[in-house]
Amino acid sequence: MAAETQVICAVFVADRTGIAQAGLKWIKRLHDISGQESNKGTLDGIHTSYNIDSRFVTYRFFVPEDTWTVLDSLIPMSLDKTGVLYAFIPQTGIDNRYFIINRLEGHRIEIACGGWGNPQIPECIKELEDYFQDFARNADLPAWIFPLAEVLVKIEK
């Protein structure tokens, strides 16, 4: 059964559901004083949701041994001794997209791209290079990311 969505016009909305989850605690307290004894201290009967329009995609590349050596020479750390090669997760207001580059076992590299607010993300592997170039307009990305992306895209062709 599909959930029904109810739109409520609001004069003021405050999202207080961060790490402390203060907003949820406040709702419970308000619910406690509402006189509904059966729901005291719970969120039963209250449904809240928030759609952040999150999207993400993950691309995995098997890197042949000879290409692995080339990639290892491009980056400032050893591929064999690093798990997360790079993570770009900007503050809200700077960008609504992120990407993470991981090394996986078995000579594989994984690139995860995503964000919130219905972000533009690469729809296919060949769009990765443009995706990184777009980030570079607003952020200082390490220079090695661009040749890494170029090599990985070539592997998939």
pLDDT at position 98, please?
93
In angstroms, how far apart are the furthest CA atoms of the chain?
A: 70
Per-residue model confidence as pLDDT tens for the chain (157 residues)? 455 666 666 655 555 555 566 666 666 666 565 555 555 555 555 555 666 788 899 999 999 999 999 999 999 999 989 999 999 998 877 888 999 999 999 999 999 999 988 889 999 999 999 999 998 888 889 999 999 999 999 998 7
The set of residues, in sequence order, having a beta carbon less than 8 Å from that of 120 and lying 6+ positions away, is 97, 134
Identify the pLDDT of residue 137: 86
Alpha-carbon distance values, 49 to 7, 36, 44, 152 (Å): 11, 22, 14, 38
Q: Answer yes or no: are the C-beta atoms of 98 and 115 closer than 8 Å.
A: yes
**Total-model pTM:** 0.69
d(CA 102, CA 112): 8
Confidence at residue 94, expressed as pLDDT on a 0 to 100 scale: 82
Output DSSP code: residue 119: -
